[in-house]
Amino acid sequence: MSKNIFQIGNGDLTFEDIEHIINENLKLELSPAAKERIEKCRNYLDRKIEESTEPLYGITTGFGSLCTKNISLDELNTLQENLVKSHACSVGNEIPHVIVKLMFLLKAHALSLGHSGVQLITVQRIIDFFNNDVMPIVYDRGSLGASGDLAPLANLFLPLIGVGDVYYKGKRCEAISVLDEFGWEPIKLKSKEGLALLNGTQFMSANGVYALLKAMRLSKKADLIAAISLEAYDGLLAPFMDCIQQMRPHKGQIETGNNFRHLLEGSEIINRPKKHVQDPYSFRCIPQVHGATKDAIRHAASVLLTEINSVTDNPTIFPDEDLIISGGNFHGQPLALVYDYLAIAMAELGNISERRVAQLIMGLRGLPEFLVAEPGLNSGFMIPQYAA
C-alpha cells in the first residue's frame, strides 16, 4: 500500500490517523475486509426484505412519525431518494472544507463497519468525493443533535445522487456536472441507504475532532507561553516540583509540572535567588489549572474516539444474529456533554493567561509599566490586556 494512501476498515481510527490524513492530504481506500463486511450486510438486507412479512423501520416504512406508513417494494428506492432531498435543508453559514472532508472520512469509516446495509458503490463514491476534493455545500445550522445530523448530512450526500451544488477546483458548480466530468453515474440508492447516510453523528463528530485537535495544540502552546511568562516575571519553580504534584496526583497536574521543569531547565533567571517567597495564583496554580484542562481534553478525547469508531445510524443491522434493531445510537448526548466541558476547560486557559498578562504589565518585579519604554508617552500592552 502506498504511503500516500490510508486504508479504511483495518481497525479503529485514531486522532493521529485523522491528523495525518488531513495534514498530509492522503487518499482513502477501502480495505478488503471492509468491502467484505459492507457486501455481506447489504446481501443480508436484500434477502431480509424479500422474506420479511413484518414492517422494517425506515426500510419498508416512512420515517419518524411516518413510521406507520408502509411502503411498497417497488417504491423503496424512491423512498430513500426522497429522504435525502427532503432533509437537505441545513441553513446558516457554509462550513469549512476541512469539516466536509472530516465528515466524509468519518461516515466512510462508520459505514465500513458493516452494520448499515449500504451498497459498496455508495461508500466508494464517498471516498471518490474525498479523494478528488469534491466538496458539497453544507451549512452550519439545522442539526437537531438528538436525531443525529439529519440536515447537514443530507446536504453532504445530496450530490451523490446528482443533486445540489459542490465546490470543485475552487468553483461552485452543479454536482451533476462534476459527476459527468468524472464519468460517475448518480448513485441509485437502495432500501435503507438514504437513512444510513443521513442518520448519524458525523457532523457533530467532525466539528469535535477539529476542535479537539486544535485544543491539544493550544494546550501545549499554553504551557510554553506560561513558562516564558513565569521566567519574565522572575517566578519560582518550586510550585512545579514533582513532589508537590504527587501529593495531589491528578494526571494533568503531574504532566504540567513535568513540562515546566523541562521547559525551564537551565534557565538562569529561574534559578537565580529570589526576594519573594511566593507568586500570584495565576503563576503558582498553573499546574492545577492547566492540568485540569489537560484532563478535560483527555476525557473529551476518549468519548469522541469511541464515537468516531461507532455505528451511529439507525436501524442497525446484525447479519450474523439475523437482527435488524431500531434504536437510538444517533443521539448526540455523549458528545454534547463533553463539548460543553471542553469549552469550559479551554476558556480557563484563556482566563488564567489574561491574569498573568495583567501581572506582567503592572510594573512589578523590575518590569516597566505596560512592558514599554516611556510608559505614558507609550501605552505599550495596555489595550491587549483589556482585550484579553
Tell me the catalytic residues: 57
Helix (H) or strand (E) holding 174: strand 171-174
Angstrom distance (rounded) from CA 305 to CA 243: 33
What are the φ and ψ backbone dihedral angles of 88, each rounded to 5 degrees? Answer: -80, 70
- 381 grid coordinates: 500592552
Where are the alpha helices (H) located in the chain, listed in sequence order? 15-23, 32-51, 76-87, 97-112, 120-131, 150-157, 175-182, 193-198, 202-232, 242-246, 251-263, 268-271, 281-284, 286-308, 333-360, 382-387
Query: Exposed, middle or buried: residue 146 (CB in 10 Å: 0-12, 13-18, 19+)?
Result: exposed
Angstrom distance (rounded) from CA 362 to CA 371: 8
Angstrom distance (rounded) from CA 102 to CA 22: 8
Torsion angle of the four alpha carbons 80, 84, 85, 90, in this order, in degrees rounded to the nearest 10: 160
DSSP secondary structure letter of residue 123: H
CB count within 10 Å of CB 86 equals: 13
- 93 grid coordinates: 453559514
Angstrom distance (rounded) from CA 137 to CA 97: 9
Angstrom distance (rounded) from CA 21 to CA 104: 12
Tell me how far apart the terminal alpha carbons of the chain are, to the nearest angstrom.
48
Residue 325's contacts (CB-CB under 8 Å, 6 or more residues apart) are 315, 316, 318
Helix (H) or strand (E) holding 29: strand 27-30
Residues in the chain: 388
